[in-house]
Each structure stands twice: as structure tokens, then as C-alpha cells.
Amino acid sequence: MKTLPAVFLLAFLFALSPIVSAQTNDTGLSGSLETSHQTYFYKDPNKALLLAFFPGLLLHGYGHFYAGDNLMGATLLTGEIISVVSIGLGAVMQSDPDSFSGGIFGSSTSAQSLGKDFIIGGAIAFGALWIIDMAHAPTAAKEYDDDHGLKPMAFLEDNRPTLALAYRF
């Protein structure tokens, strides 16, 4: 008699398990747009450009990180760190060239000119990497969208405006 409620409870839980699994499975409705928007989100190329412009000035690669291109974002961020270290090293060499004279640097005047080269090279690399981030981030966002079959919420299809609806439960 005491096991009867436990058997009913167990039978009830087994009866609910197909319902729960059906709710968590993909419904397989008419296309990848519905299912892709549940896992992946549309990356706007204009937003990628704007993120590469301002936060990207301080953190190079920010637009690529937004666009899902983490390898390029990490490469740009590493290049920024190296360029800032180059500028700092050049400034230290400029401020006290006598400490760097001798050895591989040669005289204090050559150490001072090498410091100037480090500053100029680091500044050029810093600016070039920022421009690369701004120039390529929209393309990276578009490639991400194309790879995952994503479209904006409103887009033109066969020269007709189309509205897509994506939602999450």
C-alpha cells in the first residue's frame, strides 16, 4: 500500500518526460532563420564599424570581437599592445639615452635615434591597426551573418520588404 503513491508518482514523471523533451527540442519549422536566431544573433555591420571606431580606439579588435571573429580581434589587440610597448620603450630611450649607450645600441646619439624610431614605428602601427579594425569589422559581421544564415529583422527579398520575427522562450 505504501508503494502505490510512489508508483503513481513515478508513472506521472515518466508520462511528463516526452512533453518536456518535446519542448526543448527544435521544432524543425520551415527554415534555418527561425532556428538560427535562437542560437546565433544577427551582427549589424554598421554597429561593428561604430564599435571599431570608438571602443576600438582604446581596445583594437573590438569590432571584430563583436562580429564573432575572435582570432582577428585578438591579433589586433596583441598588435596594439606591442605598439604601445614600442612607444613606451622609445620614450624611455629618448628620455635617458646614456643608460642605453654601449653594447648593441652603440653611442647615446644612436640610442636616442633608435628611441625616436621606436616611437614613430609604434605610432604608425597603432594607427594602422585601428584603421584595419574599422575597415574589416563590417565585412567580418557580414561573413558571420552569411555563415549562419542570419538576416536583419527587416530586409528586402525579391524586391519586397520582408519582416522576420525571432523570439526565445
pLDDT tens digit at each of 169 positions of the chain: 566 565 665 565 555 555 444 444 444 444 444 444 446 688 989 999 999 998 899 999 999 999 999 999 999 999 999 999 999 999 998 888 877 766 666 677 788 888 899 999 999 999 999 999 999 999 999 999 888 888 777 667 777 777 665 544 3
Residue 90 lies in a domain: yes
Q: Provide φ and ψ at 62, rounded to 5°.
A: -60, -40
Provide the domain count of the chain.
Answer: 1
pLDDT value of position 107? 75
Of 29, 69, 40, nearest to 52 by C-alpha is 69
Residue 139 lies in a domain: yes
| Residue 154, beta-bridge partner list | 163
Residue 105 lies in a domain: yes
Cell readout for 4 is: 502505490
Residue 123, domain extent: 49-144
pLDDT value of position 29? 44
d(CA 44, CA 137): 10
Cell readout for 10 is: 513515478
Cell readout for 169 is: 522562450
In terms of Cβ atoms closer than 10 Å to its own Cβ (0-12, 13-18, 19+), residue 59 is: middle
Residue 9 lies in a domain: no
Cell readout for 7 is: 508508483
Is there a contact between 156 and 149 (Cβ–Cβ < 8 Å)?
A: no
Residue 119 lies in a domain: yes
Residue 67 lies in a domain: yes
Is there a contact between 84 and 93 (Cβ–Cβ < 8 Å)?
A: no
In three-state secondary structure terms, 138 is helix
In terms of Cβ atoms closer than 10 Å to its own Cβ (0-12, 13-18, 19+), residue 26 is: exposed
- How large is the C-alpha radius of gyration of the chain? 28
Tally of residues, the chain: 169
Residue 100 lies in a domain: yes
Residue 75 lies in a domain: yes
